[in-house]
Structure 1
Amino acid sequence: MEFAKLTAKLDNIGMTASTLCAIHCALVPIFITVLPLIGLGFLANPWFEWGMIILAFIIGISSISSSYFRMHKRWLPLLLLSIGFTVIILGHLFITGWLEGIIVPLGGFTIAMAHFINYKYVGACKVCNHESH
């Protein structure tokens, strides 16, 4: 599979995962008492949440850093990815209650935006024939 297609798939997965993570972080505090009753108690488990963060981090670093070094050389997706993960991690570690349900999803949406911008940059490089082989 050519590099640009692989990167596009990773960016699509990253955008989807980051958006789902943001939705998860916003809704779990609201529905925390109902989740076990409907068999979704694992969604409020810290291990599940940190697993999602680690998975999103691996996908983000793989997709965005490789696109940066091999194709577009633009720093904005890397900056947004870094800001997004910083917000999520600091939000999980130092913020509790309803404020966490606002701050952490903002980090997830920032990561999704990083993937979207990276996707656009890679597409522009393909059109302009800047792809490295």
Structure 2
Amino acid sequence: MSEALRPRPPINADNRFYFDALDAGTVCAQCCDACGEFRHPPVPMCPRCHSLEWSPREMPGEGELVSFVVMHHPVRPPFEDGYIVALVEFPEGPRMVMNLEGIAEDDVKIGMTLRVAAEAVDDELTLPVARPIT
């Protein structure tokens, strides 16, 4: 029997740059070329100035935990009971949802600084993952 894989995200013209950057080992967000507004998830038009011109910008390797949830039900492979899903805010402003690993549920604190990196979850999928800075 084969191992269960994580569900695949839908990849399209608006977000392909994001997944290509993850495959290359970096975490990127869209930045409006007209007004400098960062945004995530990727969308075709800047919500601030309505420009259609944007560039991908690499995010720093650290962010702040602004919210989290611990998933207990329903659990099915490849996920395990009690995995932590975090909302991480980068200094530039965009927020991204990702798994938080390497910490017990009771030790998670809003406002903690996290290291963020692109990590392969299997042979075909790379996603951002947050870990506490020790």
Bin for the TM-score computed over the shorter chain: under 0.3
Which structure: greater strand fraction? 2
TM-score after normalising by structure 2: 0.27
Q: Which has the higher contact order (CA 8 A, sep 6+)?
A: 1
TM-score after normalising by structure 1: 0.27
